[in-house]
């Protein structure tokens, strides 16, 4: 299982979700072909992956507690 407590994972999920929503609003305003847009798109993908991994860990906590 994870080395992080369930409370820590939930807080991280909340914070990452907030960053993701803000970044997704910003991406359409950036011009195609710019480094800023490419970086923002990569960050969106990385944040989505991190949320999925946190969710997987949280589901592991649920299975352990049942």
Helix (H, G, I), strand (E, B) or coil at 34: coil
Q: Is 3 exposed, middle or buried (0-12, 13-18, 19+ CB in 10 A)?
A: exposed
Q: In the chain, what are the domain boundaries?
A: 6-65
Task: Record the pTM.
Answer: 0.85
List, for residues 10-48, the tens digit of each pLDDT value. 999 999 999 999 999 999 999 999 999 999 999 999 999
Identify which has the larger pLDDT, 63 or 53: 53
Tokens encoding 51 = 């949320």
> Looking up tokens 């999925």, which residue turns up?
52
Alpha carbon distance 66, 56 (integer Å): 16
Give the pLDDT band of residue 60 (cuts 50, 70, 90): confident
Give, to the nearest 10 degrees, the angle between helix 6-26 and helix 35-65.
Answer: 150
């Amino acid at each position: 299982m994870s080395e992080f407590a369930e409370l820590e994972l939930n807080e991280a999920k909340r914070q990452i979700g907030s960053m993701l929503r803000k970044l997704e609003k910003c991406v359409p305003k950036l011009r195609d072909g710019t480094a800023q847009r490419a970086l923002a798109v990569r960050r969106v993908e990385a944040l989505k992956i991190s949320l999925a991994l946190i969710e997987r860990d949280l589901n592991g906590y649920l299975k352990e507690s049942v």
